[in-house]
Structure 1
Amino acid sequence: MRRAVVLGGSIAGLLAARVLSGHAEEVLVVERDDIAASGAFGGARDPRPGVPQGTQMHALLEAGRRLLDNWFPGFTAELVAGGATSADTGRGVHSYLEGRRRVLVGGVEMVSATRPFLEAHLRRRVLALDNVRLVNGRVCGLRYAGGRVDGVRYARPDADADADPGSGSAPGSGAEDVLDSDLTVDATGRASRLGTWLREGGWPEPALRRMHVDLGYATALFRRPEGGHDAMLAQSLTTLPDGRLRLSTLGRVEGDRWIALTAGYADDRPGRGTEEFLLRCKQDPAAAFRRLAEDAEPIGEPVGYRHPDNRRRDFHLLDRFPAGLVAAGDSLASFNPVYGQGMSSAAMHAACLAAYLDTRPSPRDPAWPYFKRTRRVVDDAWQTSALNDLKLPHVTGPRPPGFTLASRLGDLVVRASVTDPVVHRRFLDVMHMLAPARTLMRPGTLLRAAAAVRRQGA
C-alpha cells in the first residue's frame, strides 16, 4: 500500500499503525486531541481529553503485554525503568475472593502503570517509526469510489495549519481536507460514528448490540506507604447480599504512588469523596485494602466514571461492506472494564490485522477474513465478561441457551481457583486472554474443580 490512515490515536489506533508500518509506505494517524501541545509524548501524568476514562485504573493483561513486547522489544522493561511495576502472579499479585486469598501460581506477568504513562510510552515508540506520522484533526467522514473507501475527510483545527501533504487543499479555519487512503482503520472508540459514515455512503451499518450493566467506579491515587504491603497488585471480589458484585483493585505505579479502584453496580456505585472511598476500602474483607486505607496518604480527590453498557458491532453479519476499511478496538466491542480486557483486545485485533495483511489480500475485496478473525476474539471476551454480567440481578436481557448450567459450572471453577493451583492457573490463562473461555468447561478441569470445592467444604 502507498498510504494507510488510522482514525484515532488510541491504544488500538497506535497498535494498528505499528502493524501497518510494515505494509504501507506511509501511515497517518488522525487524532483529534492536540497531543503535541499537551506534552503527552512521554511520561505524561494527565490523560488526554479523548480518553475520559484515562484517569481510572487500567490493567494490561498478559496476552496484550506479550504482543507489545513482540512489536516493541524491551517495552515492558522500558515501562519498569520509568517507574512502572512488573509483578509475577506467583509472587506479587494477590487475588481475593470473598476475602480469601487465592493460592499463588506463577507464569503470568502483570504491569501496573497509569493509562497516560503507558499510552505515552507506546505513542513515542510508534511515532519513532520512520513511516508513521500523527495528523491533528477531527474525522468528518469517508470518501467512496468503486465499491471501496479510498479517502478520509477530516477538519483541521488550526486556521494557520499548513495543508496536509497529499490533501491538495489550502489552509483555512475548520477547512475540510481529504486524505487519500488505500486502507482505513477505524479506532475511534465505543462512540464511533462508522455506522453513520457507512450509511452516508449508501452502505448498511452494522447492528449495535448493547447490554445495560450500570457500572460505576472511582479511582484514587495515594503516596506509597512504607512497609507492610507485600503485594504489588491486588484485586478483591465480594458478593453483596442481593447478588451484586463489588470489586476493589490496587497497584503500585510510577511516581512512588499507589493507584486504587473501587467499583459497584446500580445504586452501589461509589461516590467521589475521599471519605467514602476510604470507607469502602476499610469495609473490604481483603487485608490489603484495609491497610491501604489506614496507612496511605491520598493524593487529591477520587475521580469517578460510569460505564452504562457493554457494546459490540457485528460486522460479520453484514451482507455488503466496502473494501479498504476495517475497525479495531472499542469500535468493534467495548466490554465491562472490571475485567481489564480493553487494551489486550486492541492488541489482539492488531494481531488479526497483521495476519490478514500477511495473506496479501486484494485491495478490491472487503476485509471479511479480518472480521472473521476478530469475531473469535470478540466472542471469547464477550463470553468471559458479558455473560458473567448476566448473572447480576439488575441486568436484564435474554440469557442464551444453557446459561444456568454454564453459570453454575463457571462458579464452581472460580471457587476452586482459590485453593487448587492447577485450576487457578487455567483460570488465569482465560482471564488474561491466553486461552479461550471454553477451556474451563473441559471435563478434566470441571472434575478437578469439583474435587477442590469438596475439599474446601471438608
Structure 2
Amino acid sequence: MPESAARVFARLSTDEPIADTETVLGRAVVLGGSIAGMLAARVLSGHAESVVIIERDELPSSAQRRRGTPHDGQLHTLMHGGRMQLERFFPGFGQQARAEGAIVTSAMNIRAYADGVQKVSDGKMGLISSSRPFVESLIRRRTLDLPNVKVLTCRAKGLVFEGDAVTGVRCADENDEWIEDADFVVDATGRASKLSDWLEAGDWQRPAMRRMAIDINYTTGIFAREPGDPALAAAIAYRTPSTAPPRVATAAITAIERDRWLITIANYGRQEPIKGVDEFRALCAADQPPIYREAASGEPAGELLTYRQAESRRRDFHLLKRFPARLIAVGDAVASFNPVYGQGMSSAALHASALSDYLRSGPDLDEPAYRFFAMQRAVVDAAWQISTSADLARPDVNGPYPRGYRFSSWLINQIVDASVVDQRTAVRFNSVTYMRTHPSTLVKPSTLARAFRVNRGKPV
C-alpha cells in the first residue's frame, strides 16, 4: 500500500540526526549556488567522493545581496520546519546564527494579527529572524567548509545523456566550453530553470507546468532599531481578501542582524508603487499594530526595495513516465509559491531531506529517481495547498480551483477562525503553516470538531 502524504511529510520533517550515510557516487554536480543548491550539496557530500556546485555568479564571502536572487532584500522567514532541517544538516546552526547576530525567537515574542485582532500564541514554535543574505551566507559557509565540496564559477548550458542516464553538464565561461563529468546531477537553478528545455532537446519528456496568477507586489524598508534583543522580534498582520484590495494586504516585520528592523508591505492587483519613505511610514502607522509605526520611525538603512511576482508555478516531475537516471531538481526549479507565506527556504530544506532519505535508502541509481520525486511531491503539494488555497480566496484570482474547493475551503476557514482565539487549534494550524506537519492533519475529526465548537462559542 502506498505511504500516505502525511506519513512521508512526517518522516522528512523529522528532527532526528542524519545517520548511516554511505559513499555511493563518485562525482556529483549541483547546478545553482543558492540555498536549495547549497543544501543539496550538503546532503550529497555524505554520499559522493566530490561535489561540484556550478554557479554563474561570483558568490559573496559575507552576508551580501547577490545578483542571482533579486528578491533577497525582501523579508524571508526561516519557518520552524526549515529550522529543524538546518539543525540536522548543520548541528548548532541556530546557536551559530545567534552568535553572529540573528534573533532566535520563541513563540512568546512573535505576534500575528488577523484583521486587526491579535491571534493567540501557539506557545511552541519559534523562528530564526534575520535577513535572507545572512541565512544564505551561513548555509554557504557551512557547506563550503566541507572538504569534498567546491564551487565552479561558470554557466551551465545543457546536459549530456548517455543511454538512460545523465553523465555530464555542458559548461561555459567567457573563454571556453567544456563538459563536467557527473555521476549525479541536481538542478537548483530556480524559477528560470532550463531543465525542461534540456530534457526536451534530449528527447525526454518535458514536465507539465502549472501556473496561478497572483500579481503580488512587495515593498521593503530597513530601519535602525535599539541595540539588543527586542521584546517583540517578529510580527505579521494580514487582512481578509475583499473586492477592493487594501493598500496593505499583509505587513510583516522582523528584527534582523546589526540592530535593524526589516518591514515588508505587500499588496496585490493594480496599485501604485509606494512613493518613498514618508508614504511607507504612513502606511505602517495606519491600521497596523504599534510595533510597525515604532520600527519605521528609525533611521532608514538604505533605499526602499520593491519586488513583483506575477504567478506561482510548479513543474510536475513526479508525473513523468520517461525520465533519465541520476538527475533530480529541487527548490524553485520545481515549485515557487506566493512569497507572502514564507515557504521558500523551508521547502528547499525539506527537498534536501527528501534527497537524504532517497540516497540513504540504497536506491538503484541506474533507474530514474521516481522515489525521490514521490517524496518531494508530499512537500510541494503541502506548500502549494497552503499558498494557493489562500490565494484563491482573493476575488481577483480566477483559479484553477481544485476539486471540492468550496467545501474544503469552508473547512479550513473554520480552523483558521478558531486559531485566532483557541491555543490548541493554533498549535495544529501553525504546525502546518510552519511546515512541520502536512495539511491533511488539519481535517482530522477531532480538530474540526474543536474548531466548530470554538467558533460557536461553546466550551471545549
Partner of 2:345: 343
Partner of 1:170: none
Partner of 1:9: 33
- Percent identity, aligned pairs only, is 44
Is contact 1:264–1:270 with CA below 8 Å preserved after alignment?
Answer: no
Structure 1 70/227 Cα, relative in aligned 2: closer, same or farther at 3 Å? closer
Q: 2:420 aligns with which of 418, 421, 427?
A: 418
Q: 1:255 aligns with which of 252, 255, 258?
A: 258
Q: CA deviation at 1:117?
A: 1.0
Is contact 1:218–1:303 with CA below 8 Å preserved after alignment?
Answer: yes
**Any residues of structure 2 matched to 1:145-156 within 5 Å, and which?**
145-156=162-173
- The code of the aligned residue for 1:83 comes to G
Partner of 1:454: 456
* Secondary structure at the counterpart of residue 352 of structure 1: helix
Give the gaps of 5 or more residues in structure 2.
1-24
Q: 1:114 aligns with which of 131, 149, 153?
A: 131
Partner of 2:232: 231
Matched, 1:128 2:140: no
Matched, 1:25 2:40: no
Partner of 2:274: 271
Q: 2:312 aligns with which of 310, 313, 320?
A: 310
Give the gaps of 5 or more residues in structure 1.
158-172
CA distance in 2, matches of 1:227, 1:140: 47
Partner of 1:165: none
Q: 2:85 aligns with which of 67, 72, 78?
A: 67
Matched, 1:205 2:206: yes
CA distance in 2, matches of 1:243, 1:267: 11
Partner of 2:97: 79
Query: Normalized against structure 1, the TM-score is what?
Result: 0.91
Partner of 2:243: 242
CA distance in 2, matches of 1:228, 1:249: 18
Structure 1 241/346 Cα, relative in aligned 2: closer, same or farther at 3 Å? closer
Q: CA deviation at 1:241?
A: 4.3
Q: CA deviation at 1:361?
A: 1.7
Structure 1 177/115 Cα, relative in aligned 2: closer, same or farther at 3 Å? same
Partner of 2:192: 191
Structure 1 371/236 Cα, relative in aligned 2: closer, same or farther at 3 Å? same
CA displacement, residues 137-172 of structure 1 (integer Å, 9 cap, x when unaligned): 111000010111100011124xxxxxxxxxxxxxxx
* Secondary structure at the counterpart of residue 209 of structure 1: strand
Of the structure 1 ranges 446-455 and 266-275, higher mean CA displacement relative to structure 2 is found in 266-275
Is contact 1:196–1:205 with CA below 8 Å preserved after alignment?
Answer: yes
Q: CA deviation at 1:226?
A: 7.6
* Secondary structure at the counterpart of residue 52 of structure 1: coil
Structure 1 379/143 Cα, relative in aligned 2: closer, same or farther at 3 Å? same
CA distance in 2, matches of 1:400, 1:76: 38
Q: CA deviation at 1:331?
A: 0.7
**Any residues of structure 2 matched to 1:359-378 within 5 Å, and which?**
359-378=361-380
Partner of 2:293: 290
Partner of 1:51: 69
- The code of the aligned residue for 1:277 comes to F
Q: 2:61 aligns with which of 41, 51, 58?
A: 41
Q: CA deviation at 1:406?
A: 1.4
* Secondary structure at the counterpart of residue 395 of structure 2: coil
Please give the root-mean-square deviation of Cα atoms over the aligned residues, in Å.
1.8
CA distance in 2, matches of 1:122, 1:227: 24
CA displacement, residues 299-328 of structure 1 (integer Å, 9 cap, x when unaligned): 222100001100100012111001111000
Q: CA deviation at 1:292?
A: 2.6
CA distance in 2, matches of 1:382, 1:316: 15
* Secondary structure at the counterpart of residue 295 of structure 2: helix
Is contact 2:227–2:259 with CA below 8 Å preserved after alignment?
Answer: no
- The code of the aligned residue for 2:106 comes to D
CA displacement, residues 169-216 of structure 1 (integer Å, 9 cap, x when unaligned): xxxx1x111110000000000110001111111111101111001001
Query: Normalized against structure 2, the TM-score is what?
Result: 0.91
CA distance in 2, matches of 1:241, 1:193: 37
- The code of the aligned residue for 2:38 comes to L
CA displacement, residues 38-88 of structure 1 (integer Å, 9 cap, x when unaligned): xx223x2x3110011111110000111011011111111111111110111
* Secondary structure at the counterpart of residue 48 of structure 2: coil
Is contact 2:156–2:169 with CA below 8 Å preserved after alignment?
Answer: yes
Is contact 1:21–1:27 with CA below 8 Å preserved after alignment?
Answer: yes
Is contact 1:223–1:297 with CA below 8 Å preserved after alignment?
Answer: yes
Is contact 1:98–1:285 with CA below 8 Å preserved after alignment?
Answer: no
CA distance in 2, matches of 1:119, 1:186: 18
Partner of 2:14: none
Q: CA deviation at 1:446?
A: 1.6
Is contact 1:203–1:320 with CA below 8 Å preserved after alignment?
Answer: yes
Is contact 1:126–1:132 with CA below 8 Å preserved after alignment?
Answer: yes
- The code of the aligned residue for 2:85 comes to L
